[in-house]
Amino acid sequence: MSKDDSSYDPFEIEFLPQFRKGRGPREPFVNEYGVVIGDHEYDSPESPLSQWTEDTDPAIMAGDQWVHPFKDVGFHTAENRDYFERGIAPASGIFMHPQENAGYRSGELSGHAAADEEESSADDADDNPKDR
């Protein structure tokens, strides 16, 4: 898609062909919370952002259901444009926090923590000196 194309959307970037295939819908969609994603309207009464309190867990806004596969504003960062439009992978470590574990509990949110725990317990059992 080029900027001369009548379907050009200024919120979209020009993804390389390998990043266009299988991305998902180009049109706006309604996520599991009843919020329209990809319509360029960022104020929805159904959105947790519109109902935010100090008791709201920010993790509720994590996940692919909040990101439009073509129209997310995050695609406009220099790093994402380099990657998706030019194929230049980001430098490693640039998104790491020097003092904080930015991935803290991220496995719990995605359901990987239980599997990691089970795997860790199985590995520990294999290393029991009594078994030698």
Tens of pLDDT along 15-56? 999 999 998 998 999 999 899 998 887 778 888 889 899 999
Determine, yes or no, domain membership for 24.
no
Which is nearest to 29 in space by CA: 69, 63, 76, 73?
69
CA–CA dist 80, 67 (Å, integer): 14
pTM given for the model: 0.58
Number of domains composing the chain: 1
CA–CA dist 102, 65 (Å, integer): 21
Most confident of 41-45, 75-79, 87-91: 75-79
Q: Which domain holds residue 113?
A: 97-126
Instruction: Name the helix (H) or strand (E) containing 25.
Output: none
